[in-house]
Amino acid sequence: MTLDAGSTIGILGGGQLAQFLILAATKLGFKTAVFDPNQNSPAFKVSSKNFCSSFSNKSALKDFGNSCDVVTYEFENIPLSAIDIVRPYCEVLPKRNALEIGQNRILEKSFAEKLDIKTAEYSKVSNKKDLMNFLKEVSSKGIIKTITSGYDGKGQFLVEPHLINETIIKVLQHNECIVEKFQEFHSEVSIIAARGKSGSIITYEPGANVHKNGILSTTTVPTNLKKNTKIELVLAAGKILNKLDYIGVMGIEFFNTENGLIFNEFSPRVHNSGHWTLDGCMISQFEQHIRAITGLPLGETERHSNVVMKNIIGERVSVNTNNNHSIYDYGKLEVRHGRKMGHINIIKK
Ligand code: ADP
Ligand code: MG
């Protein structure tokens, strides 16, 4: 079913991703509603209707579901219980399975493996002995990650056999964790893909990502990836979206290594590494997501400009007069260490 202009799109989560989704939805004639516990959520200033309540408030979630024609989410750590409360009242897209797998690193990696998409070697670990055994087996450094609730490098620790300290042991005691083999990558890349209600899939050109302290710092397009690698990325994206019967935009991250592409993770939502599409393409990832979940046809993904997307993290955004800088300030009240405050798309001729 295609939603008519004037229908209401609900978004669980009110951060900058929701804000951009709303601007795209408004452009296409839709109304929007945002649900977020934080009254200062960036998306509240642009949505048609706001629901400021906890993700465990059943009656607020029910009211939210009742007032929307489709509901989506902008964050993979939205509790599944919240989705389950909304679902009887309104269709939620992308479907629950994508969120369930995307919020759990073990489910996510085993899902990729079943599709013959290579992942880093990993193991569930709950104590120092498990960790030592794994590091010995892979003879490499490792990265500990909490199985759930991680984003922007949160809940991650680099480990080496001689560097297993009290902090790490405590993390293992108090959280369910995996350890992954450390990847000596040439580069990190991601691909933004969308699948519509008809099952058609489109992808944007992959971007090269630089992370600092686990947080995305820059995305650059075009990349110098080999043609075969680009094809491999598109095929992997196609397999993932089809298998999930996915509807919407997804960001998928890979390590580009000597041994080829290694899948890192997918995000069942629009993705920071796709922000370049706001200025590099006629139709951004945000509009593409709105088109997908409302049943509209997906649009053009061709890149018309070379772009470096630079995140502004932990500092105020300052507006400059560079002709080739397209500046975005998320309007967050409080500057915090590691907090994404805005980004700049720098257009390179
Ligand atoms: P998040 O969910 O926080 O984005 P990721 O798994 O994407 O977590 O990790 C964040 C970043 O940490 C990655 O983009 C990469 O730079 C680095 N990283 C994560 N896992 C590995 C690994 N196995 N080897 C090398 N670097 C890694
Ligand atoms: Mg990541």
Ligand 2 centre and the CA of 196: distance in Å?
24
Q: Is the CB of 268 under 6 A from ligand 1?
A: no
Ligand 2 centre and the CA of 249: distance in Å?
16
Q: What dihedral do alpha carbons 240, 244, 249, 250 form, nearest 10°? A: -50
β partners of residue 296:
none
Kindly list the domain boundaries of the chain, sorted by start residue. Answer: 8-92, 121-181, 187-348
Residue count (the chain): 349
Q: Is the CB of 159 under 6 A from ligand 1?
A: no
d(CA 102, CA 61): 22
Q: Is the CB of 89 under 6 A from ligand 1?
A: no
Q: 110, 102 in Cβ contact below 8 A?
A: no
Token pair 């075969």 is found at: 228
Strands 187-195, 260-267: pairing kind: unpaired
Q: Is the CB of 142 under 6 A from ligand 1?
A: no
Q: Is the CB of 143 under 6 A from ligand 1?
A: yes
**Ligand number with the minimum distance to the CA of 189:** 1
d(CA 134, CA 147): 16
Q: 285, 297 in Cβ contact below 8 A?
A: no
Structure tokens at 341: 């405050």
Token pair 């649009």 is found at: 299
Which among 73, 66, 2, 88 is positioned nearest to 43, based on CA atoms? 73
**338: helix, coil or strand?**
coil
Structure tokens at 109: 């990696």
Structure tokens at 164: 């297993």
Structure tokens at 318: 């300052």
β partners of residue 49:
33
Angle between helices 285-294 and 16-27 (to 10 degrees): 70
Q: Is the CB of 152 under 6 A from ligand 1?
A: yes
Instruction: Please report, in angstroms and rounded to a whole number, the separation of the first and last CA atoms in the chain.
Output: 41
Give the residue whose CA is nearest to atom 21 of ligand 1: 182
Q: What is the pLDDT of residue 235?
A: 98
Q: 122, 109 in Cβ contact below 8 A?
A: yes
Indicate which atom in ligand 1 lies nearest the CA of residue 152: 3
d(CA 218, CA 115): 29
Ligand 2 centre and the CA of 124: distance in Å?
19
**133: helix, coil or strand?**
helix
Structure tokens at 123: 């193991």
CATH number of 121-181: 3.30.1490.20
Question: Could you write out the DSSP letters of every residue in 12-35?
Answer: E--SHHHHHHHHHHHHTT-EEEEE
Structure tokens at 31: 């109304």
Q: What is the pLDDT of residue 349?
A: 73
Structurally, at CATH architecture level, domain 187-348 sits in 2-Layer Sandwich (3.30)
β partners of residue 78:
none
Q: 309, 280 in Cβ contact below 8 A?
A: no
Establish whether domains 8-92 and 187-348 are of one fold: no
- Other beta carbons within 10 Å of 188: 20
Q: What is the pLDDT of residue 260?
A: 96
User: Which element (helix H / strand E) includes 310?
Assistant: strand 306-313
Structurally, at CATH architecture level, domain 8-92 sits in 3-Layer(aba) Sandwich (3.40)
Q: What is the pLDDT of residue 129?
A: 93
Strands 306-313, 340-348: pairing kind: antiparallel
- Other beta carbons within 10 Å of 284: 27
**268: helix, coil or strand?**
coil
Chunk the chain into consecutive blocks of 10 residues (it has 349) and report each block's average pLDDT, rounded to whole numbers.
96 98 98 98 97 98 98 96 98 98 97 98 95 94 93 88 87 94 97 98 98 96 97 98 98 97 98 98 98 98 98 96 96 96 94
**103: helix, coil or strand?**
coil
